[in-house]
Amino acid sequence: MSIVDGVAAVENFWARVWQARAPEAVDELVHEDFVIVNAGSEIRGRAAFKTWVEGFLGAVHDLEFTVVETFQNSDGTRVCSLWELTGRNNGIVGLEPDGRPVHLTGTAVWDVHPDGTLLRNRVERNAFELHQRLTNS
């Protein structure tokens, strides 16, 4: 049985895409058939995901992304990562840009392809709570 370093693959993705704010790294780090399930929707394919990343990065100014914890199963093909994101609202969750503070936390469960690229991601995040904070205060 071959073991994949899934933690390294995921943390490399976090660093190169979110922390560096570089959506072009998606081309190298995710599988061509990548699927993300986020906020009840599926985004299929590397190109569609890259476009989604670009939009998200545009919706949060001064984005800071922190990995809280990442761990994997015994062969490295399944990875779970807890994360935190802060920045300023520039249209996140469909709201008018107003520069207010953004704080999101989430969990991402990944499938890692044997070649080390990321194949699938399921994300749960506190977007409802973020929306409430940005609209009720």
Give percent of the chain above pLDDT 90: 81
Query: Within a domain: residue 115?
Result: yes
> Which two structure tokens, joined as six digits, stand for 3?
């073991």
Give percent of the chain above pLDDT 70: 97
Task: Give pLDDT tens digits for 121-137.
Answer: 999 987 767 777 778 86
Please give the full DSSP string across 30-90, using - where no structure is assigned: EEEEEEEEETTEEEESHHHHHHHHHHHHHHEEEEEEEEEEEEE-TTSSEEEEEEEEEEEES
Cβ–Cβ under 8 Å, residues 106 and 83? yes
Query: Within a domain: residue 1?
Result: no
Query: Within a domain: residue 36?
Result: yes
- pLDDT at position 1: 59
- pLDDT at position 103: 93
Query: Within a domain: residue 132?
Result: yes
Say which CATH number the domain at 51 has: 3.10.450.50
Q: Can you give the residue range of the structural domain that contains 126?
A: 6-136
The strand order across the sheet containing 60-72 reads: 41-44, 30-38, 118-125, 101-112, 78-89, 60-72
What distances in angstroms separate CA 16 from CA 9, 96, 107, 132, one per listed residue? Answer: 11, 28, 18, 30
Average pLDDT over the chain, rounded to an integer: 93
pTM, whole model, 2 decimals?
A: 0.90
Model confidence at 100, pLDDT cuts 50, 70, 90, reads: very high
Domain count, the chain: 1
Query: Within a domain: residue 100?
Result: yes
Mean pLDDT is lowest, of 35-39, 75-79, 91-95, for 91-95
Query: Within a domain: residue 28?
Result: yes
